[in-house]
Amino acid sequence: MTLPVVSVSMKKKKPSLVLTLSSAGILIGGGIAAYWLLTQGQSWSRNLPVGANIIPQDALFTVSLTTDRTQWQKLREFGTKETQTELDKNLVQLRDRFLTSNGYDFQKDISPWVGEQVTIAILNPETTKPTSKPVASDSDTTTNINQKSMVVVLPIKNPEQAKNILAQPRNPKADKWINRTYEGIDIKETNLPSGENLSAAVIDQHFLVITDNPKNTERAIQAYKNKTALATSAGFTDNFPKIATSQPFAQFYINIPSSAKIAAASENRHLPAQVLAQLQNNQGLAGSISLESQGIRIKGISWLNPNSQRTLRVENKAGNMPKLVPPETLMMLSGGNLQQLWTDYVSTSQGNPLSPIPPEQLKAGVKSLTTLDFEQDLLSWMGDEFSVSVIPNHSTDTLSDNFRASLVFMVQASDRTRAETSLTKLDEVMKTQYQFQIQQTTVAGKPVVNWIGPLGTLTASHGWLDGDIAFLAVGAPISDKIIPKLNNTLANTPLFQQTVPSEPNPTNGQFFLDVERADQNFPLPTLLPNQKIFLNATRSIGITSAIDDSRSNRYDIFLALKKAGNLSSSSSQESGK
């Protein structure tokens, strides 16, 4: 299963809208980052976010949010008191940045005339030529990173009522609007000593564009006039409609090449030129977020740069592994082709300091520990579906108390003879190098090899399931839970079926995590800020992925959330959401 990772680092003078939205996004699934059904019968424009024909195509990030108060109230039904407090805090920042600080109230001044969604974009900061003598670097330009790079696009549903917002400034420090014209479009601006100047323009009579930097208003007008907006960027109109849903809570887009350049220019995280070149193969990541009765669904897609030489291998042949593990399984990650996954990892990890483990280091580690060649002895027969699962230990056998769970690896062997040869080599290494006892036994009539540690503890087992599926279980003994053909499996448990999306089908990978039980029994690695707050509000997480075509990946993510009910008061209601 291929999951995209985008890392953007920007200088920060104060809480930025990016952080505001990403923090709120943690409560509904992230930035972090789903699959969709192809929407039929809708017009082309309705399948794109509001402002797609206005926001410059090199924008780093955009998010379109619903203006429907009912949906915002529905969001507040999920989670815990802590998650609701976090949501309120971030909405206060959003409200104060663009409304309260400029004298506006959403419910009174915006809601009567605004359309179904508003879009907020973080623009790619303009680059400037260095004035000093050039020095050796990966680029001949310096990025002027600042926090004044935002554009807000509000669709006008009622033009007459919209005129009221532009009648005169509401900020008590601004006496009147400063009027000017750019490219035939009227612009109204304030000029405040603080530098937090408001700039507004009506484009195409249907959109009010607001920025806190007059130059960004000009950039939006240029994008609209010259047709250099998101709607004309590579792959945008081909891929975004694929994740269109009816009445989404939010839609987002990340420009991967522009984000990579920002990361490369950051003082805190400098990316070498070869890594930047690799990221240029990717173009965009987009998603649509919907609220459902039991949680939040994110339908997403990522696509390659049309000029990239890299292509994706369209091979979706996963989906069987959840039927091979018991219903008490806490976590399961499956994929369609381990060989291909490794090939992709190598191509994107070489020279990348952000890779968790450099490929050569991993190969050397396997060689040192087992004497086996990772690619020739192991990956050579792992070209089909595989999975990694965590199965808890519920055995009453006192010899099993050494381990609380078993880590189980399964793979369908494409060459069973070669696989058996490799496993025999591995047994010999464990016997001669680590003094393990190799015990031959049978479970449900099938041969199983146990590794017994020097202290007499059963440490690992391996064997075969039907269909040439090899398994290796490390930790608690669970051979008796997976070898007999199971009538009740993870795949047919209500929680799995409610959590893991059934589409797209066929799939090249799935992920399932029973957050409640896993968090109670095992410490989960910290991957997100305020992760504990988020996990306390989550019941389970499910992901299904597929290769859509040779240039795009699809993702469908579902977050099953606890219900908290509505609190009596909130800043989100105060801000009109």
The residue ranges of every structural domain in the chain are 18-128+143-306, 321-549
Q: Whose CA is closest to 367, among 377, 358, 380?
A: 377
Minimum mean pLDDT among 266-270, 302-306, 309-313, 566-570: which range? 566-570
Q: What percentage of residues in the chain have a pLDDT greater than 70?
A: 78
Per-residue pLDDT averaged across 135-155, rounded?
A: 58
Q: Is the dihedral of CA 266, 271, 276, 277 positive or negative?
A: positive
pLDDT in tens, 37-85: 222 223 335 679 999 999 999 899 999 999 999 998 899 889 888 888 8
The pLDDT mean for the chain works out to: 81
Pairing of strands 178-182, 538-549: unpaired
Both tokens assigned to 557: 């993510």
CA 172 to chain centre: 41
Per-residue pLDDT averaged across 468-488, rounded?
A: 93
Q: In the beta sheet, which residues pair with residue 556?
A: 299, 544
HSE (side-chain half, CA atoms, 13 Å) at 549: 8
Task: Quote the CA–CA distance of 417 and 422 in Å, as a whole number.
Answer: 9
pTM given for the model: 0.83
The answer to whether the CB of 558 falls within 8 A of the CB of 295 is: yes
pLDDT in tens, 278-295: 566 778 999 999 999 999
Q: What is the pLDDT of residue 126?
A: 67
Per-residue pLDDT averaged across 493-507, rounded?
A: 95
The answer to whether the CB of 320 falls within 8 A of the CB of 556 is: no
Name 545's Cβ contacts closer than 8 Å, sequence gap at least 6. 1, 2, 3, 35, 504, 507, 508, 509, 510, 553, 554, 555, 556
